[in-house]
Structure 1
Amino acid sequence: MAVSVKDVARAAGVSVGTVSNVLNRPEKVSPATVERVHAAIAELGFVRNDAARQLRAGRSRTVGLVVLDSANPFFAEVARGAEERAAEHGVTVLLGSSGQDAARENAYLDLFREQRVNGVLLTPLALDDARTEKLETAGVPIVLVDAEADGELPSVAVDDVEGGYLAVQHLLAQGRRRILFAGGPASVRQVADRLEGARRALAEVPEASLEVASTEELTVLAGRLVGEELAKRDAAGRPDGVFCANDLLAVGVLQGAGILGSLRVPEDLALIGYDDIDFAQATVVPLSSIRQPAREIGAAAVDALFSLLEDPDAAPQRIRFRPELVVRASTGG
């Protein structure tokens, strides 16, 4: 049977209220009494029911974080940054991965509301007016991570339009004129923004062309399928530069086209990814990429959440980091 506060009070010869003060407001109790209560706690093996305490207080010492794919090293770094900063605030992070599935995302949001978390950090699958309104009225403070909305939700993101522009501008500067963009689904805001940036760069070079290869997922396997398809084309019918919406796709394209296929990277196919995950520089041909400060994004999101908790009426913070081009061997740089 679990040891209760009453058992501790009985063993220490004090009231239940005194035990509560020792646990929550020790400065109100004499040092001798605090020592006696802690001795009883140690002897009985008492463990406080933190869940019950949080229920009475109406809030917990946790923050929810929902990302698109926890297996993606970029989101793993975001989570690490959030955890490190949350620890400084005395809270822990509960991590959920939506797997780019709207129903699973909603399930996590419902769970976190039931758990009375301090707030939620969310990388949404998609955002429209109805969805944004639902989040704003959910009763739990929400900060968007690696995403932005037109409403009143605070956000921490990277300028993905600029990132897409930098990636394709670099391919064009390398003399590539037949560009392929690989990414999807298109409903993911980051994918759409990176494609928009690519189109802007292409518009500056009239003789260049853009082909879009839509993928169902942002994974290595999805990229490998794209690479294998490109390897089957003749030289005149394939692109000479590929921009992938993230590094996992780029790794897959490298595998499908350059390892399982017969194409040489970068001689036949210049290849650039997005995120600059640690593995990008360790591939057979080190990958050029667009770097996002993942850990800083996670930390800034926690800071934005606690600013919102401290002053709910303050204007929502909109923090936007700038992307950085990292050139490696896959683009011939």
Structure 2
Amino acid sequence: MRRQTIRDVAKAAGVSISTASNALNGTGRTNAETIERVKRVAEEIGFRPNALARGLLTKRSHAIGMLTNDTYGRLTLPMAAGVSEVLVDHGLSVFLCATNNDPRLARLHLETLLDRQVDGIIFTATRLDLKPPPELAKLSIPVVYAFAEGPADRISFFPDDAQGARLAVEHLQALGRSHILHITGPEDYLAVRVRAKAYRECVNSNAEVLYGDWSEEWGHEAIEQIFSRHGKRPDAIFCGNDEIARGVIDALRDKDLAVPRDIAVVGFDNWEVISRQTRPPLTTVDMELKEIGHRAGLAILGLTQGETVPTGITRLPCRLVVRQSCGGPPT
């Protein structure tokens, strides 16, 4: 079947081509009855506007680019879903481009997005202290940073890691856990240092933090380190991510210790592939990535429509998802 054109719509609705175009684009002085008839006919015959022609008319591509270094999409896909939910009702599409931390690939993707004349760009990263491509700051189109920090005069959204860490520790304290240990990822990550600082503020300024990898293997190894020492064992463990937490729980089980009866465990991320399947299911901190995407989508939409959007950093609150790995007070 051939593609239906504006000429077909006009003929079926009994109006001129210019009137049909005005009715569908909301331009001119077409009366309400004609607009309704033209739109109804366009839907009935399966007419879809030509995006290129529409772009020439409105001076917009009705597309947003998302540039990310997140190869596997663990962080970016939930944010992209949030962005898309905001933009789809406004007729905007999203092009997602992964850079794989390769500056050359980032430049190529950026050039492609600019060649497509996207109306704006959202940049996302896998860590808050990763520097965005410097070219972004020089663009004349709107740029918003999500889970990344842009220049002071731009708009950035990321999770409040300190608040998230406090949620986890204070929940354990409310359950009566008094010897809480923190096992987390590499110390060179800004988020790791921010969470560790918040943990110490809740527990003890001199409390030990065990730094390692973002892996289940590190969770196992950390438990071996702890239990090879003499001294009081923890009654709760706050982990830097869900993978570490699952490794910790498996290692405790190997030592015939029950979670949460003997030791309560809390993770961070709420990566449901892991947190729901852990045994017992894992209490964890959700960074609300989809909401970050929502906020970034609303910001880029406002900017493309010529609205004034406040610049600077917005830290969005995390949420504690309570499951069975914490239980009640220690026995």
For residue 251 of structure 1, report the CA deviation from its aligned partner: 3.7
Match of 1:214 in 2: 213
For residue 98 of structure 1, report the CA deviation from its aligned partner: 5.0
Q: Secondary structure at the match of 2:152?
A: coil
Residue 298 to residue 180, structure 1, CA distance change in 2 (3 Å): same
Contact 2:284 2:322 in 1 (8 A): yes
- Describe the superposition over 1:115-168 as per-residue Cα deviations: whole angstroms up to 9, x where unpaired: 222222222346679747542222331222234446111122321122224334
What is the CA–CA distance in structure 1 between the aligned matches of 2:144 and 2:79, rounded to whole Å? 13
Unpaired runs of at least 5, structure 2: none
What is the CA–CA distance in structure 2 between the aligned matches of 1:290 and 1:243, rounded to whole Å? 10
1:168-317 to 2 correspondences below 5 Å: 168-170=169-171, 174-181=177-184, 183-184=185-186, 186-187=188-189, 189-202=190-203, 204=204, 206=206, 208-215=207-214, 223-230=215-222, 232-233=224-225, 235-237=227-229, 240=234, 241-255=236-250, 257=251, 264-266=258-260, 270-279=264-273, 280-311=275-306, 315-316=310-311
For residue 285 of structure 1, report the CA deviation from its aligned partner: 1.0
What letter is aligned with 2:168? A
- Report how many aligned residue pairs link the two structures: 319
What letter is aligned with 2:182? I
Match of 1:116 in 2: 117
What is the CA–CA distance in structure 2 between the aligned matches of 1:35 and 1:81, rounded to whole Å? 34
Using the size of structure 1 for normalisation, the TM-score is: 0.70
What letter is aligned with 2:89? E
What letter is aligned with 2:304? L
What is the aligned-residue RMSD (CA, Å)?
A: 4.5
For residue 274 of structure 1, report the CA deviation from its aligned partner: 1.7
Match of 1:325 in 2: 320
Residue 63 to residue 37, structure 1, CA distance change in 2 (3 Å): closer
Match of 1:159 in 2: 160
Contact 2:220 2:247 in 1 (8 A): no
Structure having the larger proportion of residues in helix? 1
Using the size of structure 2 for normalisation, the TM-score is: 0.71
For residue 310 of structure 1, report the CA deviation from its aligned partner: 3.7
- Describe the superposition over 1:88-121 as per-residue Cα deviations: whole angstroms up to 9, x where unpaired: 3332333345556666555544433332222222
Unpaired runs of at least 5, structure 1: 216-222
Name the % identity.
27
